[in-house]
A and B are shown apart, each in its own frame.
Chain A
Amino acid sequence: MTPRDPGSQHPGAHEPTTRNPAAQTPSARGQDSRALVMARIRRALADVPRAETPGEVPVERTYHRVHGDRTADRTADLLAENLADYRAIVHRADTPASLDAPSSLPALIARLLAERGATSVAVPPGLPDSWLSAVPDAVRRVPDTAELTPHDLDAVSSVVTGCAVAIAETGTVVLDAGPDQGRRRITLVPDHHICVIRVTDQVVGSVPEALERLDPARPLTWISGPSATSDIELDRVEGVHGPRTLEVILTGPESAGQS
């Protein structure tokens, strides 16, 4: 195709254009445009009675809060099935009711990191100490700090986090940047993400149930399987820019055995 403007060569060969001092500042012009757009909207809505309030436009929420009736165990199973369906690797670990009793979680995390050959792991500030207690010291712990750059993170093998909530019907884990999850980028740049879900209090059935629990003021990341694309012939392929391996560990006192 033709270049739009013969004067626009490569960025490097182009001096920054000096702004016309007589031009309006963006904010002043913005005020005009705001008023203009608002006036256009009001004119466009001339058919809407002036007295009508938004609440008077009916919205029937007759859809289900959750699809189907399930026990807590069955909900956890569905979560595991749906996560696996989108190529997340699902594991189970016991966490006994008492904090002092031994749990299979640290050993599992250590094994997954070892199998991956991880040499370093990003650690959110509020990750329970015990989770990495079985990981050898040779695996470098990279704390999640404000100074950590994207380039630093690119050299980190894995990341271990908790989550805010998980949705069974869709096979989704939601992170809200809480203390056991850290900044958004630590679960993005490393290629291997291990996410621990507490079955007892973090799994919900449906999207509506999840939204109820989430705080919109926090930055949220909804994760349903490893990164994927349908951009080549509308066929799904896993593994693009986000972590290409997502391992999810469901922990709970009742969950029997582990993978």
Chain B
Amino acid sequence: MSGTHQATYLGMPAFPQAADASTRNTQLRANLRHATHTIRAKRATAVAELDDWSRLRAAGAAIKDRTLRHLDQYLEQLESAVTAAGGQVHWAADADEANRIVTELVRATGEREVVKVKSMATQEIGLNGALATAGITAYETDLAELIVQLGDDLPSHILVPAIHRNRGEIRDIFTEKMAQWGRPAPEGLTDAPADLAEAARLHLREKFLNAKVGISGANFMVAETGTLVVVESEGNGRMCLTLPETLISVVGIEKVVPTFQDLEVFLQLLPRSSTAERMNPYTSTWTGTTDADGPRAFHLVLLDNGRTDTLADTVGRQALRCIRCSACLNVCPVYERAGGHAYGSAYPGPIGAILTPQLRGTQSELDASLPYASSLCGACYEVCPVAIDIPEILVHLRERVVEGGPASVRGTRTVIKPAKGHAAERAAMRAARWALDHPGLLRTGQRLAARTRRFHPRRLPGPGRAWSDTRELPKVPEESFRDWWQRTRGRSATGSRTEGDTGRRTEGSTGGSTGSRTQGSTEKSTGSRTEGRKDTT
């Protein structure tokens, strides 16, 4: 059985290298384009049905902020409520500890097989691999997770982990692999989605009916009542949550919401943002255990694994509002082209680009590259149902990568060193700052640059080459703005000129790589340079 084979994100290359390869995969790009465009229009329609969407969104963000600012209190409240209702609460500081706890809980039941509901938290900690090492087989039961598991593959989307596969590929995977895991695919399986769904139903039926242990995550945990919520479509969630004797739920500590009433906001925001439905087919809620209905034992494993580090960052903290709807993936032009695997973690797309470097830190080359996996177009922020300002966090994390500075790493405050790869950028910025502080030198330099125009290369030499591989070098104008102004109006408007001129210039020049563009010779070019990130529709 291939149950012990576990694809892993370990050792994946940095985003630019991974994306360089994936963007050349035309099949992948066609699959992703088709899927993301299908859901985009549907989401817009589902959201437009509610004329109070922006208020729901603001309330969702506010409820999450309230929770995060008092997370310790809410977790204590949750723990008491779950315990009072017959559940047992465990705490895991990191992935290894969570995996150990779950493995021991499964062993204690004497079972060697478990059924799983799709769960981002267990993907994040690599639970299936840890269980396999302990001789326990975990069966993924979500259709897309099943496709990923059978195909020895990695998830590439939060909602639809197999979004990179089209129906033909799915048919091939089912036909080839189902027999290794249990009931084989029906003879002559077609690639019609309904037939593929039927094949999954037949394949997993026995597993559900025999399952003694179920493992899940949760979309929400209600502190006030100890209630857990799982939102799903297929019914595999209901199977795993109600048929086994033991249920183990691994949930990130940020998934708590204060009250049962608060669900009225999230149960409106999540389905419309996620699958573009008014409501998803099945939502299950349970509070501890219920006599003679559902599992007799319920274990809740509360997972930190970098969440407290994220919480410590007052700018990045808002990423913990995320309800894993995946709307930001579906609208992202970078995700659509690069695909989910390039992000090198269970969390792809814009949310992954801000969550992964906060959960894991920015030390590895891959994690340090993620904040750059964006054009900062802002579409993700626009659709986020809990108003996470993803572009703001991206810029914040880029600054952390380049400049270093204080951050929390595994619960300890440390000062991160600036990343090596950005030494040239930092030197250039220092040089720019110095030049801009010396107007006389700047003027001389600009005139010199203008006179040597025809000798300027089209590509930068040395380490700058990578930058100019995909960009045009800005053209130095024949005449600097300052000289143009001096020549055309210098004599008539001496008084107010200098001040305004300098002011505009400084504003433009702080924009990093746009430095050389500030020499634009007309008023118009100066105006068009203003950052328009938040205005993007």
Contact = CB atoms under 8 A, between A and B. Distances in A.
Nearest to A33: B91
Given A41-B311, A227-B234, A233 B38 contact: yes
B8 A1 contact: yes
Contact of A67 (B51, B65, B129): B51
B265 A237 contact: no
B52 A184 contact: no
B281 A223 contact: yes
B235 A171 contact: no
Interface in A42-95: 42-48, 52-54, 57-64, 67, 82, 85-86
A183 B292 contact: yes
B248 to A, nearest CB: 12
Interface residue tally on A, bucketed by range: 35 or more
A229 B233 contact: yes
Given A59-B59, A224-B281, A177 B142 contact: no
A17 interface: yes
B196 A232 contact: yes
Given A9-B4, A58-B62, A234 B36 contact: yes
Given A11-B137, A33-B92, A54-B69, A241 B279 contact: no
A106 interface: no
Most A CB atoms within 10 A — which of B93, B144, B271? B93
Contacts of B451: none
A200 interface: no
B290 A234 contact: no
B368 interface: no
B35 A234 contact: yes
Given A222-B282, A229-B233, A26 B104 contact: yes
Interface stretch (B255-263, B415-423, B454-462): B255-263
A22 interface: no
A231 interface: yes
Contacts of B152: 1
Nearest to A61: B59
Main secondary structure of the interface of A (DSSP, over half): loop
A116 interface: no
A241 B239 contact: yes
21 contacts: A4-B129, A48-B70, A52-B70, A57-B70, A58-B62, A59-B66, A62-B59, A63-B55, A82-B278, A86-B278, A208-B261, A220-B285, A224-B277, A224-B279, A228-B234, A231-B162, A231-B234, A232-B143, A233-B35, A234-B38, A241-B201
Closest 5 CB pairs of A and B: A242-B235, A241-B235, A44-B312, A40-B308, A170-B279
B134 A17 contact: yes
Interface stretch (A96-104, A107-115, A211-219): A211-219
Contact of B222 (A60, A216, A241, A243): A216
Contacts of B73: 54
B143 A229 contact: yes
Interface residues of B, number: 126
Interface stretch (A129-137, A146-154, A250-258): A146-154
Interface string B51-85: 11001101100110111011111111000000001
Given A221-B284, A231-B147, A16 B107 contact: yes
B163 A234 contact: yes
A4 B264 contact: no
B193 A154 contact: no
Interface in B182-231: 193-194, 196-198, 200-201, 204-205, 208-210, 222, 225, 227
Given A150-B209, A177-B293, A224-B280, A188 B239 contact: yes
Interface string A1-38: 11111011111001011010000001001100110111
Contacts of B159: 230
B90 interface: yes
A127 interface: no
A54 B66 contact: yes
